[in-house]
Structure 1
Amino acid sequence: MITLHHVPQSRSMRVLWLLNELGEEFQLVEHAFDRSLRSPEFLTLSPAGRVPALEIDGERMFESGAMVEYLCERFPDRGLGRTPRDMDRMAWLVWVHFAETVSQHAAALTQQHIALYDDAMRSPVVMKLEAARLRKCYAAIEARLSTPVENRDYLLTAGYSAADICVGQAVYMGQHFATLDGFPETAKWFARLTERQSYQEALPGPDSSRIYERDFYPAWEE
């Protein structure tokens, strides 16, 4: 049995999206984005008190990148991973883990805009720098998608994979702070991803808690 511990709109969304694509039976346990993640019970699942946490066959995993690699290897028939002999293996690994580069900037902005409750704690300089760094990440994705390869609809030459899921989820978070204006290929790629049922089912439900109350948070001015 697979159990995913999930906070809507967080990094755990990428593992939920992947599980939806894999079509394997799993149980979803939703948590709020609050101090309950620091409870002794939850810390036995994820020692840093973060999501995702994954329980599978009596074992426990934390770190979303590790989960993505493991799940793709365990369920190879869906074709979302790439084996060491595949021509796309190196690119697959790079882009799966590039998602964390994007996410760290989105996380810094989430802290600035949402987690810090007092304006005196917030830094307009940090907000502007991190939004600019997000756009640099978008530029890297744009360059990849603009490579003159036939049918470059996804990040890998061989088509849709968990790399698109990981980076796509990071861009989902990032767009709360930096839009895709000026990145046309990235915008078209992201639109393709959002049409997938697996993506739609990974979005917060009507009764789910949310990290982001707004669609967009502009840089805060002093």
Structure 2
Amino acid sequence: MADELILYTNPQSRGRIARWMLEEVGATYRVEVLDYASTMKGDTYLAINPMGKVPAIVHGGKVVTECAAICAYLAEAFPDAGLAPLPQERADYYRWLFYAAGPVEQATTNNFAKFESGEQSRMFGYGNYDLVVDVLDGLLSSRAYVTGDRFTAADVYLGSQIGWTTLFGMLPKRDSFLAYLERVQSREAYKRAWALDDADAEAQKAAEPA
């Protein structure tokens, strides 16, 4: 079908972000679960995403990769879900969506890998890890969601980032982070998406050779 929507994912990956967003917008979609060792690096998938990474979506024959882009795209493609920014929310929406995709992602992964920018901090967009954490804490201490009092697609991405990084000790469990996670993870779409990914993970594990 020309307007078919396909999610390429692995349940043990950032693909969970895209699945959550798909559940939020209420889209009808088909799932292709890939494994890291073979199908994710196979020619068929590399023709979709040459990076050989998930998630990716194909909608109406067009490919979207990168989780923040997928969230923003789906919010616009399915406007009835009400997850795209209102005119007065656009500045905060885009600012903090890309803050999460840039400084937060880079700072937390570099810090986890024991990489420190040190005297070269001016060369890195995020400056240093502690600054990134403090800025994020300041944001979530001042409002319920990225744009204020209303949940948007930016919260799917930021909520996923904070959930993942606090789980693995990449972000400290500050009160503002934990309160924010409680709000976003209580959503029915999050619970549905998580259950679907857990089921796919179990099926994938069961299919592995004994």
Q: The TM-score by the shorter chain falls in which range?
A: 0.7 to 0.9
**What is the alpha-carbon root mean square deviation over aligned residues?**
2.7
Give the secondary structure class of the aligned counterpart of 2:115.
helix
2:10–2:35 CA contact under 8 A, matched in 1: yes
Identical pairs, percent: 24
1:9–1:173 CA contact under 8 A, matched in 2: no
Matches within 5 A, 1:1-222: 1-83=4-86, 86-101=87-102, 102-107=104-109, 125-126=114-115, 136-147=131-142, 152-175=143-166, 176-181=168-173, 183-203=174-194, 204-208=197-201
Residues 103 and 28 of structure 1, relative CA distance in 2, 3 Å threshold? farther
Distance 1:81 1:95 in 2: 14
TM (normalized to structure 1)?
A: 0.73
Residues 135 and 201 of structure 1, relative CA distance in 2, 3 Å threshold? farther
1:22–1:75 CA contact under 8 A, matched in 2: yes
**CA offset at residue 103 of structure 1?**
2.8
1:106–1:177 CA contact under 8 A, matched in 2: no
Tell me which amino acid in the other structure corresponds to 2:94. L
Tell me which amino acid in the other structure corresponds to 1:79. G
Tell me which amino acid in the other structure corresponds to 1:37. M
**CA offset at residue 51 of structure 1?**
1.2
TM (normalized to structure 2)?
A: 0.76
Residues 137 and 16 of structure 1, relative CA distance in 2, 3 Å threshold? farther
Tell me which amino acid in the other structure corresponds to 1:20. E
Distance 1:98 1:61 in 2: 20
User: How many residues align structurally?
Assistant: 187
Residues 9 and 190 of structure 1, relative CA distance in 2, 3 Å threshold? farther
Give the secondary structure class of the aligned counterpart of 2:88.
coil
Distance 2:158 2:136 in 1: 9
Tell me which amino acid in the other structure corresponds to 1:177. G
**CA offset at residue 156 of structure 1?**
1.2
Gaps of 5+ in 2: 119-127, 203-210
**CA offset at residue 106 of structure 1?**
4.9
- The answer to which structure has the higher helix fraction is 2
2:72–2:154 CA contact under 8 A, matched in 1: no
Residues 58 and 179 of structure 1, relative CA distance in 2, 3 Å threshold? closer
Residues 37 and 107 of structure 1, relative CA distance in 2, 3 Å threshold? farther
Residues 6 and 207 of structure 1, relative CA distance in 2, 3 Å threshold? closer
Gaps of 5+ in 1: 113-124, 210-222
Distance 1:16 1:190 in 2: 17
Question: CA deviation digits over 1:103-131, x for unaligned, max 9?
Answer: 33455578x5xxxxxxxxxxxx339x9xx
Q: Which runs of 4+ in 1 moved over 6 A?
A: none
